[in-house]
Structure 1
Amino acid sequence: MSKLAEFKRLEAQLAEQLAALNSLKNDAELKREIEFETKLRALLDEYGLGLKAVINILDPGRASTPLPARKTQRRERTVKVYKNPHTNEVVETKGGNKKVLNAWQAEYGAAAVKSWIQ
């Protein structure tokens, strides 16, 4: 895209955003919300309260609602030792996805390899 085309595209976007901003500035609902927020913040400052304190006053049951429990960390996997009775080769692994174990399972069968756990 040429610089001129990009400039014109950005200029058009800016004009659209300025038009939307001007229409919002004249919106009565927005003016009411801004006035409410201003008065609320002034009132909070006057009494020295924060938003959390006001929420606790207005909805005390919400404060006593327990937070969801944190997930506990997974326990560490235990090391399993497999010993091939045919070759006396020993493999130690924390998971079952090991190249040597997969080869053994292909050759001897998964049930046989599971029986080799020491």
Structure 2
Amino acid sequence: MTKLSEIFKANQRIDMECEAVTRLIQDDEVVRSINFLRKLDTLAATYDYTVKEIVMLLDADEFATETATSANAKADVPVYVARTSRKFQPKRYQSPYTGEILETASAKHKTLKTWQSIYGVAEVETWRI
């Protein structure tokens, strides 16, 4: 009898899920999204692209292109890798008193800290070139 009750409970869950899916399918926003995805698939097939490639083209700032080659590959294959961070640009300072040029990628540079303690942070920032 317990297996029979499990079947009835499972059948009830399936009916509830079917009702939920039916409500979702009838939602206007879902219908528009499905139509958009169908049109996107058709467009991608027309121009020999995949949907993933189209998304990468539209959101190019999020992806960097690298070329991967292997011993078995006959041609270069583009590989898309998400960018993790931008490389920090070093700052350059030139002391008007000594003419010394300082290039640093960190605010903890010994000479920069010395200049800031002697002349002040605001003054040293005006020396940036």
TM-score (norm 2): 0.44
Which structure would you say has the larger Rg? 1
Structure with the largest fraction of strand: 2
Higher RCO (C-alpha 8 Å, min separation 6): 1
Structure with the largest fraction of helix: 1
TM-score (norm 1): 0.48
